[in-house]
Homo-oligomer: A and B are copies of this chain.
Amino acid sequence: MSLAGRPTSKDVAQEAGVSQSTVSLVLGGKWAGRVSPATAHSVRGAAERLGYRPNQAARNLRLGTTRTVLLMVPTLSAPFFGPVYTGAARAAARHGFAVVVSTWPDDAVGPADSPFAAPDEAIDGILASSMAVEALGGFRDTPAVMLDSGPAGERVPTVDFGVADGMRAIAAHLAGLGHRRIGHVGAAVDQWTFHARGGALASAVAALPGGVLTRATCAIDVTSAKEAAGRLLDAPDRPTALVCDDDLIAAGAYKAARARGLDIPADLSVTGFDDVLLATALEPELTTVRLPAEELGAQGMATLLDLLSGGRPSPRVLPGELVVRESTAPPGA
């Protein structure tokens, strides 16, 4: 039991020859004009010597707080959300906050009814990723920050990726290579980020002289993606480039292309989105947009902590970055 026998503020008080209240005042930083600098110093010394760490349970009880925030993500088994967690947890730890994770139930499209959705312990705030603000449900009046979920009105702060810019960068890159007939393999997932990706691509291609966009959607898995990409490739006047909503979808597109004897990038350019580990494991390596997932978690947590301490954080947008690798080339190269 790493709790037993730990020094308490009372022990520190005794060691320093002061009262427990003084210890609490000093260590809480609220001693301006109440405790002499000399006393404060000796208290700090005593605390240091004893290796005093405040008992969080007692502090939480007293303050009616928990120093715990809930991170709601669709899953931790997808490659994207691990880093989000890491970034959030790291930022939280610096402020003495813990992070508990709630994932959506398997095969669910939203967080509702998750066995995780309402952890027994109370929480101070929520970091909710990739979901509509309405889905907060019972947590409506808990301070929350929405991640990668798009604009959410005045009431709740957001941190998003600049996915539209990212998609425009892809479109510009392909256009620059000479592509005009572009296929979009979209994720059939009702999340802001995918709507934004699709919308940005559509308008970018529409603005391109001679641009033609075809479109198919699929679930975010290789099999489904392969099938959807195949539909686009089998159409008359097939596209010379496939823009995929996600790296994993791009992997499916690779398979569809190979099954038809098309070489990437000579016969077909393919792009992904997110830049997960997979992107460099594929062959050829995937041109994609890198989204700073860990940064999303970190900035989200910073925003939430700001909110919790009474701030009025403004929305933030983290730019994606086009990473050109080997899967794109001029058409017919």
Interface flags, A118-156, vs B, CB<8A=1, else 0: 011111100000000000000101100000000000000
Does A255 interact with chain B (Cβ within 8 Å)?
yes
B278–A255 touching, CB < 8 Å: no
Q: Which residues of B contact A100 (CB under 8 A)?
A: 89, 98-100
CA distance A222 to B326 in the complex (A): 15
Q: Is the CB of A57 within 8 A of B53?
A: no
The verdict on A20 contacting chain B, using a C-beta distance below 8 Å, is no
Q: Residue of B at shortest CB range from A55?
A: B61
Interface membership of A32, Cβ < 8 A: no
Q: Which residues from 225 to 278 on chain A have a C-beta closer than 8 Å to any C-beta of chain B?
A: 248, 251-252, 254-255, 258, 277-278
Q: Are B2 and A123 in contact (CB under 8 A)?
A: yes
Q: Which residue of B lies closest to A68 (CB)?
A: B98
A283 within 8 A of B: yes
Does A333 sit at the interface, judged by CB under 8 A? no
The answer on a CB contact under 8 Å between A90 and B116 is yes
A101 at the interface (CB under 8 A from B): yes
CB of A126, distance to nearest CB on chain B (Å): 9
Size of A's binding interface in residues, CB under 8 A: 63
**Contacts of A121 on B, CB cut-off 8 Å?**
56, 67, 96, 98
> In whole angstroms, how far apart are the Cα atoms of A53 and B64 in the complex?
14
A120 touches B86 (CB 8 A): no
* Stretch from A73-81, A176-184, A190-198, A315-323 at the B interface: A73-81
Q: A313 at interface (Cβ–Cβ under 8 A)?
A: no
Is A207 among interface residues, defined by CB-CB distance under 8 A? no
CB-defined contacts of A38 to chain B, threshold 8 Å: none
Whether the Cβ atoms of A119 and B98 lie closer than 8 Å is: yes
Nearest CB in chain B: distance from A9 CB, A: 13
Q: Which residues of B contact A53 (CB under 8 A)?
A: 120, 122
CA A278 to CA B123, docked complex, whole Å: 35
Least CB distance, A3 to chain B, in whole angstroms: 5
Task: For A76, give its contact among B76, B119, B124, B254 (CB under 8 Å).
Answer: B76
> A14 within 8 Å of B by Cβ?
no
Other A-B pairs, 12, CB within 8 Å; known A3-B66, A90-B115: A1-B64, A3-B64, A3-B122, A56-B121, A75-B86, A77-B294, A89-B116, A93-B116, A98-B119, A277-B278, A282-B282, A283-B283
For the complex of A and B, the 3 pairs showing the least CB-CB separation, nearest first, are A57-B60, A251-B281, A76-B82
